[in-house]
Structure 1
Amino acid sequence: MRFACLSKPLLLAAGLAGLSALPAAAQEATGPKPPCGGEFGTWLEGVKAEAAAMGHAPETINAFFASVRPDEAVLRADRAQGVFQRDFIDFSRRLISENRIANGRANAEKHDAVFDRIEAEYGVPRGVLLAFWAFETDYGAVQGDFNTANALATLAHDCRRPELFRPQLLAAIELYERGGIEPASTTGAWAGEIGQVQMLPQDIIENGVDGDGDGRVDLKGSAADALISGGKMLSSLGWRPNEPWLQEIVLPQGIDLRLTGLDQKKTVSEWQALGVTGRNGALGAGNLPASVLLPMGQGGPAFLAYPNFDVYFEWNQSLVYVTTAAYFANRLEGAPVYDAGNPAPGLSGEQMVRLQEKLQARGHDVGGADGILGEKTREAVQAEQERLGLPADAWPTPGLLEAL
């Protein structure tokens, strides 16, 4: 659950082949990069030396790396990001089906005692974990067929994000010592996550729980182990019990759109004073801080994002994916389908890249011109909309691109 991807078979079923959602840590890592690139065998000797310096026995290190090989398919999956260029309505409709909702509710009933335990110990609602479980592996059915050790070594050797994956590769050695991984046979997602909720080795070491009491942590074969471990991890990332995460709202006519966006927070009481109401049910407690999120601008769906929504970004930093996961959790908890509204046409991936280049030229930090509408790009868009006298709803349109 610094859940890096959806497995390819699940994506094909969802019409989203090639999705690769990078872990938050991959996008936040800073500082000098560890050694990477060059001849794989030579690089691997450096990893072995580092593992030995950490206290791992030479025979353990050699046994772990005996079958490790680079995997070009991992690199191809890592480079595939185009699906995140879809807008929220398109993305959410592709991932959320009536069948997936029905299976979620059936699994909630089947594992009722497990979810009761998670809610009691960690305060994480079942809808939240069910949504993660669904999107990661279709409730455990499709867990990925990439060799985990090969995937981690490939990405640690690659010079794009070795600062994330080298520590995970070294953590996998410790996991091997604990009996939690077999380098030659353990499989999972392309970015090295294992099990039904797709956790990286370091996260398994820190948060793995023997949920079914059989004396071992089996995130691949035991739904109880996987779900309870996921609940513990969300708790460690800052989940606040008995609080909402995302709620659909209705905005009053004429609200100042400059107040919207995840970088703008007011208390629920302050939003209510401005005329914001829940579309279905009351808003959260009046003292809770919250932001108004308009994933497709003033004409599309509108949500109030509470502090727990921030925890989703510890899982993944794709705004469209995080919003869809949080919304799906609501659906699994009984919320109706959102009001899609009538949003203005957005930009194609190519147009988004051009927009981001223009924003960068104006001094905005958009996190790179990747064609993906993330929160940094939205903030820059909102600033430029305000400067140009346009509705500052952070939704980029062809009109804004032309104006820039």
Structure 2
Amino acid sequence: MHIRIPILVAALLGAGFCTTATAADIGSCVQSLRGRALAAGIDATTFDTHVAGVVADPSLLELLDRQPEFTTPIWDYMAGLVDEERVADGRAMLQTHADTLSRVEAAYGVDPATVVAVWGVESDYGDVFGKRPLLTSLTTLSCMGRRQGFFRGELLETLRIVQSGDVAADKLVGSWAGAFGHTQFMPSTYRRIAVDFDGDGRRDLVDSVPDALASTANYLKRSGWRSGQPWGHEVRLPDRFDTAVSGRTSRRPLSYWSGRGVARVDGQAFAVPGNTQAALLLPAGRQGPAFLVFKNFDAIYSYNAAESYALAIAHLSDRLRGYGPFVASWPTDDPGLSRAERRELQTLLLARGHDIGEVDGIIGSASRAAIEAEQVRLELQPADGRAGQRILRALRDAGVQPAAPSDG
């Protein structure tokens, strides 16, 4: 059958996107995908029903190199992910799902706080799954941009999920890259790791919280999780400590670190034997918080290979256990904002006449432009549109005043 996926190639090239697809050959790309799918056991009806009508989404190509865990300063990243709202909501989820989490721990050996922390960071406990249809995203990325081979594999796995009846196609919405469900599994991870924990005969990470939480614990277990051990500890370094030995993959016995004066910031003894392998993590350099991390940190890291991401989950899990914020401060004079503070900032910008859309705590281009305008007006340097404590305090102090008229 004829398969048509219209693409605004000229718009893509004008925006500076790199793609190997053109208007002439996108059809052949999809036909090639159809052949691969049928050879991999996807029936023709499934492919034609769910891929033939897909309209490519060129905006995805810009997102390939803009993942926040790699581009956002860690103090901003952590402030938004581990705030008092997420801690309070997570503690409520620990109570609401206590029975399920207890059974999950018995089955997979991963404690409830860690599982719930992954849930909180990945989807805000099921509130934010993402809005992009997986079949649209993965078809687009299978034919355009870099890493096409990877995304073609994910597209085939998505079609297998639909064909199996585990999750309906219209429920498969998620991130731009294809992650979906309560704990944002990629389709290939779903195939390998997802479990039917509620016993209904389907592995459903969208509508079944038990399936999602158990699948997350299964992932961590298979990634080397060690029951009863901590992910790590915030530590204090002695003066003139040689930080050249730091790095997540530079593992040494705990006795090596303690013998050189590295100690927990709370003064307590390390909760693992001296021969336990540990690495020194300095996510913001020598002047920021320091951590000794163990095998369980690596298990979290494997979920999404970014140290800031793993640290956010690890720290949130500690907060859910009742521990406090990090002791050391981040090396910045303009710390990040919690989600509540971001909403407050947006409210202040609206009150000053800036048209930034709704107050949602998401600092997009309109909010950044308004911040930059206020930074200029208030003579704050640099005027870079960054949402931090400095501009929030300045607007609080300034009170509600109309924005300066635009030159245009």
What TM-score comes out, normalization by structure 1 length? 0.72
Kept in 2, the 8 Å contact 1:88–1:320? The answer is yes
Q: Paired residue for 1:329?
A: 317
SS at match of 2:122: helix
Q: Distance in 2 between matches of 1:53 and 1:60?
A: 13
Higher RCO (C-alpha 8 Å, min separation 6) = 1
Alignment of 1:145-156 (within 5 A): 145-156=131-142
- CA distance 1:104–1:164, shift in 2 (3 Å): same
* 1:219 equivalent in alignment to 2:205: yes
Q: Distance in 1 between matches of 2:170 and 2:284?
A: 45
- CA distance 1:182–1:221, shift in 2 (3 Å): closer
What TM-score comes out, normalization by structure 2 length? 0.71
Kept in 2, the 8 Å contact 1:265–1:290? The answer is yes
* 1:312 equivalent in alignment to 2:300: yes
- CA distance 1:82–1:211, shift in 2 (3 Å): closer
Q: Paired residue for 1:111?
A: 97
Kept in 2, the 8 Å contact 1:70–1:151? The answer is yes
SS at match of 2:302: helix
- CA distance 1:190–1:342, shift in 2 (3 Å): closer
- CA distance 1:268–1:182, shift in 2 (3 Å): same
Alignment of 1:4-403 (within 5 A): 37-38=21-22, 39-81=25-67, 84-184=70-170, 186-280=172-266, 281-283=268-270, 284-341=272-329, 343=331
Q: 1:337 deviation in Å?
A: 0.9
Rg comparison, structure with higher value: 2
Unaligned residue ranges in structure 1 (runs of 5+) = 1-34, 347-404
The alignment-based identity, stated in percent, is 33
Q: 1:344 deviation in Å?
A: 7.1
* TM-superposition CA deviations, 1:362-395 (whole Å, max 9, x none): xxxxxxxxxxxxxxxxxxxxxxxxxxxxxxxxxx
Kept in 2, the 8 Å contact 1:251–1:276? The answer is yes
Q: Distance in 2 between matches of 1:190 and 1:341?
A: 33
Q: Distance in 2 between matches of 1:296 and 1:308?
A: 21
Kept in 2, the 8 Å contact 1:156–1:169? The answer is yes
- CA distance 1:51–1:253, shift in 2 (3 Å): same
- CA distance 1:154–1:194, shift in 2 (3 Å): same
SS at match of 1:297: coil
- CA distance 1:178–1:342, shift in 2 (3 Å): closer
Kept in 1, the 8 Å contact 2:122–2:182? The answer is yes
SS at match of 2:235: strand
Q: Distance in 1 between matches of 2:226 and 2:188?
A: 23
* TM-superposition CA deviations, 1:314-339 (whole Å, max 9, x none): 22222222222222222222222112
* TM-superposition CA deviations, 1:182-226 (whole Å, max 9, x none): 335532222111211011112112222222222222211111111
Kept in 2, the 8 Å contact 1:87–1:320? The answer is no
Q: Paired residue for 1:388?
A: none
Unaligned residue ranges in structure 2 (runs of 5+) = 1-18, 335-408
Kept in 1, the 8 Å contact 2:237–2:261? The answer is yes
Alignment size in residue pairs: 312
SS at match of 1:315: coil
